[in-house]
Amino acid sequence: MAIISGGSKSKSGKKKSGAGNSKKVGFWASQELAKQKAYEKKAKKYKLPLEELAIFTQQLSSLLTAGLPLVQCLEALQDQTEDQVFRIVIRDVRAEISSGNSFSDSVKIFPRAFNTLFVSMVEAGEASGALSEILAKVADYFESSVKLTKQVKSAMTYPIAVIGLAVGLVNVLLIFVIPVFAEMFDDFGAKLPAPSQFLIDLSDFLKAYIFHLIGLFAVIFWIFKKIIATPKGRVMKDAFLVGAPIFGNLVHKIALSRFCRTYATLVRSGVPILRTLDIVASASGMTQIERACANVAQHVSQGGQVSEVFATNKFFPPMMKHMVKAGESTGNVDGMMNKIADFYDAESEATVAALTSLIEPMLIVFLGVVVGGIVMAMFLPIFQLGAVAGGLE
């Protein structure tokens, strides 16, 4: 009886263990299913970073050059990508192509993942039968854009970090440190020096209204974002960026380089001129270039030349106008545009390097003046302790 009872317990235990494992498997399966559904939903509006798009374009061009069919190339890229959302995007594009749609029509389903420039280049590649070569060109363009953007971001990271650190440090001193000195100075019973009194008053104000100030800045920032989202706000913002005293020159050169590089890449790939101007305008992000492209499109449609519009637009420097005119006379506008883009890329890199070398000592001086001024203002009554404490006698 004991043996039979022990066996029944063992069977019962196995059943319980099996039921527990099945519950765990069911739980993880439901979790994976929920995660997959979230990826599917996100894929429709997924914005692919330009760096990832450049890698994808370069790899796709290499696989096509090797002679692999487009569907097989996409399958290989889908398997190797680590981005789960982009994997779904590639899968859906591959499914659209397998069902008989063109590559350009398939990528149009995901406008945030594949930008207008990429779609137009694919259309040009399909029309000319040289998709791999054109994808290689657009990949080079994306890589040069990413490189320039990284250089600017790396140059801006240091000053932004230092300024943020300085603001945080000054707030800590004003809110937590200076009140301690203020209590000590109250015992002196004499009038404090003007710098010390100013810092104490500022400290009291921040302690009382710090949250109000944060809310005010948040509201101002929200209003500012709403304003620059309007057409007039965008014009004002772009005019300010280009005319800014220190960084305006760099913003202008980067905009000109992007304009010339995009224009040259599209024209060399066989995209029609009016379509090229439309894409360049949308890719620039600058209202000055958008207006110029609209004027050029209207002028060209009436039989004019691109250089004639550039000659009357102050946004484009004289050197660029003459080089474009020379390119039109020789039938090599895209080559001239590429040379202009190379020139402004080199100028932008030199400007970034100069700004970086100039900003570092300026920030050191700024920190020294701000922090040193606060420290001196707080210790000034101690240095004048004899005169201040005279009122206690």
Mean of the per-residue pLDDT values of the chain: 82
Range of the structural domain that residue 103 is part of: 50-114
Give the C-alpha separation, 347 to 324, whole Å.
18
Q: Tell me: pLDDT of 8 over 80.
A: no
Question: If you write DSSP's letter for every residue of 30-81 in order, what string do you get?
Answer: HHHHHHHHHHHHHHTT----HHHHHHHHHHHHHHHHTT--HHHHHHHHHHH-
At 334 the pLDDT is 86
Spatial CB neighbours of 367, under 8 Å, sequence gap ≥ 6: 162, 166
Q: Is residue 241 part of a domain?
A: yes
How many domains are there within the chain?
2
At 218 the pLDDT is 93
Tens of pLDDT, residue by residue over 132-141, are: 888 998 898 8
At 59 the pLDDT is 92
Q: Is residue 29 part of a domain?
A: no
At 30 the pLDDT is 66
Q: Tell me: pLDDT of 14 over 60.
A: no
At 380 the pLDDT is 79
Q: Tell me: pLDDT of 11 over 70.
A: no
Q: Say whether both 109 and 235 belong to one domain.
A: no
Q: Say whether both 103 and 186 belong to one domain.
A: no
At 77 the pLDDT is 92
Q: Say whether both 88 and 145 belong to one domain.
A: no
Q: Is residue 22 part of a domain?
A: no
Q: Say whether both 109 and 175 belong to one domain.
A: no
Q: Say whether both 294 and 160 belong to one domain.
A: yes
Short-list 200, 257, 143, CA closest to 374: 200
Q: Say whether both 220 and 356 belong to one domain.
A: yes
Give the C-alpha separation, 187 to 326, whole Å.
80
CATH of the domain at 258: 1.20.81.30
Q: Tell me: pLDDT of 9 over 60.
A: no
Tens of pLDDT, residue by residue over 41-55, are: 787 888 888 889 999
Q: Is residue 258 part of a domain?
A: yes
Tens of pLDDT, residue by residue over 328-359, are: 888 888 889 989 988 988 888 888 888 878 88
CB 334 within 8 A of CB 268: yes
Q: Is residue 123 part of a domain?
A: no
Q: Tell me: pLDDT of 24 over 60.
A: no
